[in-house]
Amino acid sequence: MIVRTPPGILAAAALIARKDLAIEFRTRSAFLAALTFSLVAIAIFYFAWDATAVGAVDLAPGVLWVIFTFSGLLGLHRSFGVEEADRAIDALLASPIDREAVFLGKAFANLAFVLGVQAVAIPAVALFYNLPLTRVLLPLTAIAVLAAIGLVSVGTLFSAMASNTRLAELLLPVLALPFFVPIVMPAAQVTARLLQGRPISEAMSWLRILIAFDIVFVVACALAFPFTLED
Amino acid sequence: MSRAATPAEPTRDHVLAPTPAATSALIAIEAAGLSRSFGRRVVLRDLTFQVRDGECLALFGPNGAGKTTLLRVIAGLLRPTRGTAKVAGVNLPGGAEARSVVGLISHQTMLYSALSALENVEFAAKLYGVASPRAAAMRALERIRLADRASSPVRSLSRGMQQRVSIARAIVHDPRVVLLDEPYTGLDEAGAVALTDALETLKSAGAALMLVTHHLSEGLALATHTAIMRDGRFVQHDARGDVAVEAYRDLYREAVMG
Amino acid sequence: MTASARESDRPRFDWLLALAVVAMLATFVRVAYFTPVEARQGLAQKIFYLHVPTAFIALYVAFAIVGLTSAMYLWLRDERLDRIAASAAEVGVVYMAVVLLTGPMWAKPIWGTWWTWDARLTLTLFAWFVFLGYLILRGAIEDESTRSRYSAVLGILGTLLVPFIHLSVYLFRTLHPMPILLKPSRPSLPNDMLLTFGMAFVALTLLFVALIRIRYRLAVTLDALGHEEAAEEARVGTLRPHPIR
């Protein structure tokens, strides 16, 4: 018999994340769809809300973070779809890796996906709304990462459940959107203050909510994930 | 799909004559009073059996008898509701220890259609912690005679070839226990031969096989033991012996209809 | 199985429901005729006695029940816990709907707007969405054990979510001061108003528990019926011979 040492939880998660990203890169369709959706939506929102009546700087945070949630949802669905197609999930679960590694790996891949879309969407919003992006780029990136972590934890878990039900595509937004409230609210509030030129220290209470949400839900979702698997 | 050849006992040559070491071979799979229910529906009832290294237990039975469920329990995908099941001496669900020595083949390919054959098998090799995963993956593909299509994306392969990739994926880590759920589904002649050869090699190397199939002749060709399942129970469970395929067919009909 | 189904067929006097109804009637009489009318807000203020206790029960009691029974279900896998959670969620949805309806009914005559984004109403709105998601999830899953497991996961996560929404909404309110449109839940009320409030609270709690119990019994009956049907199907199924190749 071959001597084997199965990978530990983080190594296994990395394996799965790389595999998911390789698949996504091969087809690219979901990423392009999410990206296109973001850009079209940003453009439409610009004309839907008259930027002459209300300042662009006031509208932009809302637009940015609403689109963030919906484009994030678009990407999440394919996360477990690829496992369901030919029951590849059975092969994953029959292998010696930890179940939590499956969750972490998929969450990592989703995180890369969401941040990839944001890397284009945020500059696009800055462009269309004429925002002073360079001034706030660093803190805005930090918020984007924090928000993405929260979105991806809840979204990965719910997409695991939704992929197993009748209403899969419809169910994911219905379940997930209330959970995005403590992400979107702080993100939008902090972004607004940043764009108004206020120091980030003023928005610390909002940041604290976002960080606390991330910590609680990354742990809770990772622990809850094995319960979404049939046992 | 019947591959019944015309000579009287065509599969005789493939049945391993019991070697002196056979009876002292280690127990690879073991169940004692194994039961599994889904809510109130009892699917496995009080199963007790053993499969030793080098043996192949062929499982026959009607749909809904619980064969797939039994394999899923042994694979560590489901936990027993009552009773015990062990793989390589480890109580199931035994975590990484038990799962690392098991290979699972299903009638669904369990592959990622966007990735190539080699990538799929290599991914599995890495999951099991096989050293030099790429080389091991190529070796597995060679055993199942698909090495020339290694870099083709799985979705471009025929169903039969996909099934072969799935087999390579299941054996890349040289498992001690191989669970097969209707593995001949979709295989053409060449594929079926390649599969049987691979399984014979595994068996002679000491692997324990559990084979669920509707193809009586194929199952009997590989089997050292046979069992017929009905309503979650074994209604027949014996060494393969010298029973001819046709005789076994009658035995089966009686067991299932009676 | 069949025994318990027959048992719940027998019409049985629901003393808890009767008590709750009596309490509700008594409270109504007290609110309408024996409680003074509030000086500034007038008659419309009396909706307060329905609106506030209902909100409290829906937001805290319902979620506590769902959260606790969900966690215990994942630990013990007892289907009764799952049924309690589902019943509490359903009754919770109804109670929250009452809050969301009485809010505008209270706001319109006093402040002229139907909807106020005040903290409690907003929190109830989002909590309502969570419970609705819970019920929709249950409706989308056929298999019992999967349904119970998934609901339990959602129940626990939803209960974890409520404090975060609470924090977000209240922080929003303090930073964007709006006129205090609806009185806080524990105001300095004169004694007779306080007594009415207490009565309303007790009555609504009794009703809540009574309704959960009714819903639970209905779930038991439905489950039993479902199992009888499944057993029948299974019996018929195995009689059919299966051909082998």
Digit-coded pLDDT (tens) for A21-41: 999 988 888 899 899 999 999
What is the residue range of C110's domain? 14-36+44-181+190-224
Instruction: Give the pLDDT score at C182.
Output: 46
Closest residue of A to C150, CA-based? A228
Q: Which residues of B touch A92 (CB under 8 A)?
A: 127
C57 inside domain: yes
Cβ pair C114, C104 in contact under 8 A? yes
Q: Is residue C161 part of a domain?
A: yes
Please check whether residue A210 is in contact with residue A182, taking contact to mean a CB–CB distance below 8 angstroms: yes
In a domain, C243, yes or no: no
Average pLDDT over residues C40-54: 79
Residue C232 lies in a domain: no
Q: What is the mean pLDDT of chain B?
A: 85
Q: List CB contacts (< 8 A) between C220 and chain B.
A: none
Instruction: Name the more confident of A108 and C178.
Output: A108
CA-closest candidate to residue A164, choices A109, A44, A78, A84: A84
Residues of C in contact with A161 (CB under 8 A): 137, 150, 153-154
Residue C70 within any structural domain of the chain: yes
Provide CB contacts within 8 A for A75, sequence distance 6+: A30, A31, A34, A110, A113, A114, A117
DSSP reduced 3-state for B159? helix
In a domain, C4, yes or no: no
Task: With a cut of 80, say whether residue B4 has pLDDT above it.
Answer: no
Q: Convert the pLDDT of each residue in B194-215 to its tens digit.
A: 888 888 988 888 899 999 988 8
Give the pLDDT band (50/70/90) at residue A3. low
Please answer yes or no on whether B128 and A96 come within 8 Å at the CB atom. Answer: yes
Strands (E), C118-224: none
Average pLDDT over all residues of chain A: 89
pLDDT at C188: 63
B47 DSSP β-pair partners: B34
Could you tell me the maximum CA-CA distance found in chain A, to the nearest angstrom? 74
pLDDT in tens, A76-100: 878 888 888 888 999 999 999 999 9
Q: Give CA–CA dist B158/B187, Å, rounded.
A: 10
Q: pLDDT class for C115, splitting at 50, 70, 90?
A: confident
**Residues paired with residue C210 on neighbouring β-strands, in sequence order:** none
Tell which wins on pLDDT, C241 or C203.
Answer: C203
Residue of chain A nearest B96, judged by CA positions: A96
Number of compact structural domains in chain C? 1
Interface contact flag, A15 B123, Cβ < 8 Å: yes
Torsions phi, psi for A141 (to 5 deg): -60, -40
Q: Give the model's confidence band at B11: pLDDT under 50 very low, under 70 low, under 90 confident, else very high.
A: very low
pLDDT of B132 above 50: yes
Q: Distance between CA A31 and CA A229 in Å, rounded?
A: 27
- Measured CA to CA, the distance from residue A218 to residue A154 in angstroms comes to 8
Task: Find residue B130's DSSP bridge partners.
Answer: A4
Say if C219 falls within a structural domain: yes
Higher confidence at residue B71 or residue A231? B71
Reply yes or no on whether the pLDDT at C171 is more than 70. Answer: yes
pLDDT at B14: 37
Asked whether residue B52 carries a pLDDT value surpassing 80, the answer given is: yes
Per-residue pLDDT reduced to its tens digit, C126-149: 999 999 999 999 999 988 889 999
Model confidence at C241, pLDDT cuts 50, 70, 90, reads low
- Section B244-253 average pLDDT: 82
With contacts defined as CB-CB under 8 Å, which chain B residues touch A1? 101, 174, 176
Residue to mutate among B36, B40, B69, with most C CBs inside 10 A, is: B40
Peptide bond into B62 cis (omega under 30): no
pLDDT surpassing 50 at residue C180: no
| Confidence check on the interface: ipTM exceeds 0.85, yes or no | yes
Which band of pLDDT confidence, cut at 50, 70 and 90, is reported for residue A136? confident
Phi, psi of B83 (to 5 degrees): 80, -175
Helices marked H in chain A — which ranges? 9-27, 29-48, 56-84, 88-94, 99-128, 133-162, 168-195, 204-224
End-to-end Cα, chain A, rounded Å: 29
Q: Does residue C162 form part of some domain?
A: yes
199-228 in chain B: CB under 8 A from chain C: 214-216
pLDDT confidence bin for A51, thresholds 50/70/90: low
Asked if residue C158 lies in contact with residue C134, where contact means CB atoms within 8 angstroms, the answer is yes
Residue C149 pLDDT:
94
HEC states along A127-155?
A: HHCCCCHHHHHHHHHHHHHHHHHHHHHHH
Q: List Cα–Cα distances, A59 to A66, A128, A160, C177, in angstroms.
A: 11, 11, 34, 20
Predicted local confidence at residue A26, as pLDDT: 87
Mean pLDDT of C97-122: 84
pLDDT computed for residue C187 by the predictor = 54
Chain-centre distance for alpha carbon A72: 5
Rounded to whole angstroms, the Cα distance separating C23 from C26 reads 5
pLDDT of residue A174: 92
For C145, what's the count of Cα atoms within 13 Å in the CB-facing half-sphere?
Answer: 12
Find the range with the poorest average confidence among B1-5, B150-154, C37-41: B1-5
* Of C116 and C26, the one with more pLDDT: C26
Question: What pLDDT is stored for residue A155 in this prediction?
Answer: 95
pLDDT computed for residue C10 by the predictor: 62
